[in-house]
Chains A and B, each alone.
Chain A
Amino acid sequence: MTDQGGTGLRVDAVVQRDAFRLEVDFAAPPDEVLGVLGPNGAGKTTLLRALAGLTVLSEGVITLDGQVLDDTDVVVAPEERPVGLVFQNYRLFPHLTVRDNVAFSPRCRRLGRRESRRIADDWLARLGIADLAARKPPQLSGGQAQRVALARTLAGDPALLLLDEPLAALDAQTKVEVRGELRRHLSQFRGATLLVTHDPLEAMVMADRLLVIEDGRIVQHATPAEVARRPATPYVARLVGLNLYRGVLGDGGCVTLDDGGRIFVAASSAAGAVTEGARVLVAVRPNAIAVHTERPAHASPRNVWEGTVTGMELLGDRVRAQVSGSPSALVDLTPAAVAELHLVEGGRVWLSAKATDLDTYAEVG
């Protein structure tokens, strides 16, 4: 370990529980909000629990600002860790007022009652909820409880902040309000932050970098923009609304897909490191695919294939059609185009895509 003070979080850890194995290796510098994205059961919460000390590592090491929190020799107890965790369901103490909830952690650090309450009032004021100080948690709305939970955790002065699906328990309207505000508070927090979510928009808006976990493993660790443009797995592609195909790059930019079919990619669209014979991913935006009722006569796009419409869904001002074929694709059309083409579910269509509209990159791992 070459960590020094203030270097943030370093994790190289394994948690084995029954058949489930979480195996991750990553770093998060201070000042960074790392979004942890993944499907249910991927191991996101297990990771947070391991960092908070509620679950002991099976192997590996966790260091925070150079201090070992957990390795084969040392396990720092959760109450001794400078780690704050905001639980998904907030877990406010129902018998304590909001002020005493927030003062709980300062009190545990043996600060006097008066000093603890002052710290609590200070945090309540910073989060704009000073007027709630005398209330009890059962009298709070979801958005208010979320803010109190954040205040309670921040009052513990953590060096690492963990948020487990902080907005999942809120209704859609409140979510939008709290999201912007939470983003602002997180940017003021000076330590590293891990924000677990399965909502891609939340991850894109709040995180500086994303860590995508699937089945206990990291499948992608990159900026939100990179994840949105070049998803590493079909799960991520689905989240960001892209078509993603896996295959092997062959002669003349022809990619033979794992699930059947071929796609021609332009040499310029392939990222530098991709060579012939390499396994590649091809990302295609749903609006880069054109739909025809007959085989296009003057086929300027090199990729033309036939499929069956299996579903249509109105998304705002466009229609997203699911077309099954080789390969299957999500295609975006205008409602007018759907009407002109007389598209119906079960109907046969031709799809075309320009080679230059495809993004081709190496598959990792």
Chain B
Amino acid sequence: MLPLVALLLRAPWGSLGKLLSEDEVRTALRLSLECATAATVISLALGVPLAWVLARAKLPGLAFIRAVVTLPLVLPPVVGGIALLLALGRSGVVGRYLDQWFGVTLPFTTAGVIVAETFVAMPFLVVTVEGALRSADRDLEEAAVTLGASRLTVFARVTLPSIVPSLLAGSILCWARALGEFGATITFAGNFPGTTRTMPLEIYTQFQQDPPAAEALSLVLLFVAVLVLALLRDRWLRGPAAS
């Protein structure tokens, strides 16, 4: 609690308005929101099927896949960023071919920011949704099957609606983690104003030159965090009643 109280007490509230009207700050904020949202959408698209496989499939080596998927939860983000560079960098294991065949380079681009954020944040979504799928009511799915529903229909019309609260909670956690992502982003995507300098990077940069400005900008991300918490609380309170 103490650091947060200190931040609230000492932050130069007065300069907040002026800072938020600066182009550089606004660009960083917009970039942050866009990249975090894009990372969340990608995480949903990839993470929900992955969570389904982890929760339901009977495959050998599932424990290994689960370990790999959840590794970014415990991995220092900087290490993640370096790993991403080695994999997707211009001369990386995969990145080399992306460059040669498609002319796509990810490092030091906005797309790179999204990749870094997805890498770090997706496990939050996968873990939350996997838990929900595990505890989802299999009896209802069975009932749907006897009524003639295909596997896809069962998932879309019975399973998915029953995990909506967890899906929302997972998405919010994922989005918040992506928004605050620093280590992997700065390592993999660099710190270029307008393309890869998100809010955390902006705060870090300001901190080098103008600490009070960094303090004020920190308040912005603190508010976002509080907002996320409020949303989650609401979800978690309503979640059990809905299912």
Contact = CB atoms under 8 A, between A and B. Distances in A.
Given A95-B161, A104-B157, A79 B139 contact: no
A129 B156 CA distance: 28
Contacts of B146: 52-54, 78-79, 83-85, 153
A80 B162 CA distance: 24
Interface residues of A, number: 22
B221 interface: no
Interface string A100-114: 000011001100000
B150 A89 contact: no
Given A93-B158, A95-B161, A79 B148 contact: yes
A253 interface: no
11 contacts: A52-B146, A79-B150, A80-B148, A85-B146, A93-B144, A94-B162, A95-B161, A104-B149, A108-B150, A108-B153, A156-B147
Nearest to A138: B241
Q: Give chain A's interface secondary structure class.
A: mixed
Q: What are the nearest 9 A-B pairs in CB distance?
A: A91-B143, A108-B148, A105-B147, A95-B161, A85-B146, A108-B149, A78-B145, A79-B148, A79-B145
A89 B139 contact: yes
Contacts of A79: 145-150
Given A54-B142, A87-B139, A89-B139, A109 B161 contact: no
Contacts of B142: 54, 91
A52 B148 CA distance: 11
A152 interface: yes
Interface of A: 52-54, 78-80, 83-85, 87, 89, 91, 93-95, 104-105, 108-109, 152-153, 156
Contact of B147 (A54, A89, A152): A152
A152 B140 CA distance: 13
A10 B161 CA distance: 38
A190 to B, nearest CB: 19
B140 A93 contact: yes
A299 B148 CA distance: 67
